[in-house]
Each structure stands twice: as C-alpha cells, then as structure tokens.
C-alpha cells in the first residue's frame, strides 16, 4: 500500500482564525513553503503566540517544530525576549526550561537573561540544562 500524503494546511484560514496551535503544527509539514508561511503568520500575530510556542520547546518535541518556533521567536525580537524573561520566573520547572531554551533561539537579544536562568534552582535541573 502506498503512503498517504497529507493535505497541506490552509495557512490563510489558520491565520484568519488566529489559530496559533494550528499554525505551529503546520511547522512540521514537509514542504518548506508551508513552513515559511506559517512562520510569517505566527510572527505576524505578535508576542501573544509565545505561550503556545513554549509548549513546543521540549526535548520530546519534533525538532522541526522547535526550530521553526525558534525562528518565530527570533522574528518577534525584544517583545518575545521580555515575555520569555518573565517566564524564567514561573514556578513550573518545565516552563522555565522551555523559556531558557527559547531564549537561546532569540539570539543576541535573548542572551542577557540566560545567566540568571542558570542559577535559578529547579528540582530536576531542567532550567540549568536548557541553558
């Protein structure tokens, strides 16, 4: 039996619906053009997509989704860094670790908060290891 190809996601529909989760899942689609459109749509939604993106910054996540999500964070720039820096102070170790990993994708603007993340205590070392 031949493999069944998935239909490409309708990025315009997802964008109009402000469906951040749908756009994030589209980042795993094999066609570069689809991923590129999804990155641009997510970046166009602004920093409000950060919480949805953070859910995908885990070691178990598809690396394509994580890398493309990192590109969205890079495009968002300083507003994303500000929100991620606040996330470094959350009680949940997983949120802090995801924020630290995401800040690494932000490039130079994301670098200043990272030393503080390294010293932030976590029960299992996730935040420290992400930095």
Q: What is the pTM of this model?
A: 0.74
User: Whose CA is closest to 72, among 97, 100, 94, 50?
Assistant: 50
Task: Work out the pLDDT band at 127, boundaries 50, 70, 90.
Answer: very low
Mean pLDDT across 56-71: 83
Helix, strand and coil percent figures for the chain, each rounded to 5: 65, 0, 35
**Chain position carrying tokens 């069944």:** 4
- 120 pLDDT higher than 70: no
* C-beta of residue 63 within 8 angstroms of C-beta of residue 21: no
């Amino acid at each position: 039996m031949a493999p069944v190809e998935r239909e490409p996601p309708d990025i315009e529909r997802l964008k109009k619906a402000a469906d951040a989760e749908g756009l994030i899942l589209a980042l795993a689609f094999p066609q570069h053009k689809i991923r590129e459109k999804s990155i641009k749509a997510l970046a166009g939604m602004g920093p409000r997509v950060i919480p949805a993106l953070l859910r995908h910054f885990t070691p178990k996540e598809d690396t394509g989704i994580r890398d493309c999500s990192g590109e969205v964070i890079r495009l968002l720039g300083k507003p994303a860094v500000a929100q991620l820096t606040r996330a470094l102070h959350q009680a949940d170790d997983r949120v802090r670790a995801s924020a630290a990993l995401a800040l690494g994708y932000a490039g130079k603007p994301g670098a200043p908060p990272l030393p503080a993340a390294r010293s932030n205590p976590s029960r299992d070392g996730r935040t420290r290891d992400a930095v």
